[in-house]
A and B are shown apart, each in its own frame.
Chain A
Amino acid sequence: MLEVFRQFALDLKASGINLTILYDAFDFERFVSGLMTTCALIVICTLFSILIGGAGAAVLALSRGPAAMLVRAYVALIRNTPLLVQMYFFYFAVGSLMPVGQNAIGLPVPMIGNFTWAVIALSLYAGAFNIETFRSGLGAVHNSYEEAALALGYSRFKAFRYVVVPLGLRFSFASLANNLVDLTKSTTVAYAIGVAELLYVSNQIWSDSLNTFEMMNVMLAIYLLLTGIVVWIIGRVQAAMSLPGFGAN
Chain B
Amino acid sequence: MSETTILTDIFRWLPFVLWGFALNILMSILAIMLGTAAGVFLGFGQISHVRLIGRISRLATQLFRNAPWLVLLFYCIFLMPYSFTVSGVTYNVPSWLRATLGFSVPVAANFSEIVRGAIGSIPKGQWEAAEVLGYTRTVTLFRIILPQCVTRMLPPWMNLYALLITATPLASIVGVDEALARTQAAVQSEVQPGFLIPMYLTLLTMFFLYAYPISRVSAALERRFQTV
Tell me whether A and B are bound partners: yes
Instruction: Indicate if B193 sits at the interface (CB-CB under 8 A).
Output: yes
- Residue A79 at the B interface, CB < 8 A? yes
The digit string for B149-191, where 1 denotes a CB below 8 A from any CB of A, is 0000000000000100011111011000000100010010000
- Knowing A181-B66, A223-B67 are in contact, say whether A79-B200 is a contact too (CB < 8 A): no
Contact of A80 among B166, B180, B193, B199 (CB under 8 A): B166
Whether a CB of chain A sits under 8 angstroms from the CB of B14 is: no
Contact of A84 (CB < 8 Å), options: B68, B172, B197: B172
State the CA gap A81–B21 with chains docked (Å): 13
- Given contacts A85-B203, A93-B196, whether A212 and B79 have CB atoms under 8 Å apart is yes
Known A-B contacts A76-B212, A191-B173, A216-B79; A82 and B168 likewise in contact (beta carbons under 8 Å): yes
How many Å from the CB of B200 to the closest CB on chain A? 4
Q: Which residues of B contact A223 (CB under 8 A)?
A: 66-68, 71
CA distance A181 to B193 in the complex (A): 37
The answer to whether B70 touches A81, judged by C-beta atoms less than 8 angstroms apart, is: no
> How many Å lie between the Cα of A94 and that of B193 in the bound state?
11
A109 / chain B contacts, CB cutoff of 8 Å: none
**B202 → chain A, closest Cβ, in Å?**
10
- CB proximity to A under 8 Å, residues B173-228: 173, 180, 184, 187, 193, 196-197, 199-201, 203-204, 207-208, 211-212, 215
CB of B71 within 8 A of CB of A216, answer yes
Q: Is A227 an interface residue (CB 8 A)?
A: yes
**Given A80-B212, A81-B204, A224-B66, A94:B197 Cβ within 8 A:** yes
What is the bound-complex CA distance between A212 and B78, given in angstroms?
Answer: 8
- Asked if A185 contacts B74 (CB within 8 A), the reply is no
Are A199 and B168 in contact (CB-based, < 8 A)?
no
> Cβ of B33 < 8 Å from any Cβ of A?
no
Given A88-B200, A93-B197, CB of A81 within 8 Å of CB of B207? yes
Hey, which chain A residues are within 8 Å of B69, CB to CB? Answer: 185, 188
Whether A92 lies near B187 (C-beta < 8 A) is yes
> Which of A80, A88, A93, A203 is the one whose CB lies under 8 Å from B208?
A80
Q: Which of B75, B187, B204 contacts A85 (CB 8 A)?
A: B204
Query: Chain A residues near B78 (CB, 8 Å)?
Result: 212, 216
Most chain B CB inside 10 Å of its own CB: which residue of A185, A187, A219, A228: A185
B70 contacts A199, C-beta separation under 8 Å: yes
Asked if residues B169 and A85 are in contact (CB atoms below 8 Å), the reply is yes
Q: Is the CB of B180 within 8 A of A82?
A: yes
Say whether B204 contacts A191, CB under 8 Å.
Answer: no
Asked if A213 CB lies within 8 Å of chain B CBs, one says: yes
B63 within 8 A of A: yes
Among B41-77, those with CB < 8 Å from A are: 63, 66-71, 74-75
Q: Nearest-CB distance from B212 to chain A (Å)? A: 5
How many B residues have CB within 8 A of the partner chain? 35
Q: A80-B162, A84-B172 are in contact. Are A216 and B75 (CB under 8 A)?
A: yes
A233 to chain B, nearest CB (A): 15
Question: Is A85 a contact partner of B168 (Cβ separation < 8 A)?
Answer: no
CA distance A191 to B170 in the complex (A): 11
Q: Chain A 156-199, CB within 8 Å of chain B: the 1/0 string?
A: 00000000000000000000000001001111110110000001
Contacts of A74-119 to chain B: CB distance below 8 A = 76-77, 79-86, 88-89, 92-94, 96-97
* Alpha-carbon distance A17/B106, docked complex (angstroms): 27
Which residues of the other chain, A, contact B167 by a CB distance below 8 angstroms?
82
- With A80-B162, A82-B167 in contact, is A89–B204 under 8 Å at CB? yes
> Across the interface, do A219 and B71 meet the contact criterion of CB distance under 8 Å?
yes
> How far, in angstroms, from A4 to B69 measured CA to CA in the complex?
35
**Cβ of B211: which chain A residues have Cβ within 8 Å of it?**
80-81
Determine if A237 is an interface residue (Cβ-Cβ < 8 Å): no
B208 touches A77 (CB 8 A): yes
- In angstroms, Cα B205 to Cα A77, docked, is 9
21 intermolecular pairs with C-beta atoms under 8 Å apart = A76-B212, A76-B215, A80-B166, A80-B215, A81-B211, A82-B169, A82-B170, A85-B169, A88-B180, A89-B204, A93-B199, A93-B201, A97-B197, A181-B66, A185-B66, A212-B78, A212-B79, A216-B74, A216-B79, A220-B71, A228-B66
Q: Knowing that A85-B180, A185-B67, A186-B68 touch, tell me 11 more A-B residue pairs with CB under 8 angstroms.
A: A77-B204, A80-B215, A81-B204, A88-B180, A93-B201, A185-B66, A187-B68, A213-B79, A219-B71, A224-B66, A224-B67
Closest 7 CB pairs of A and B: A185-B68, A80-B211, A188-B70, A188-B68, A82-B166, A93-B196, A89-B200
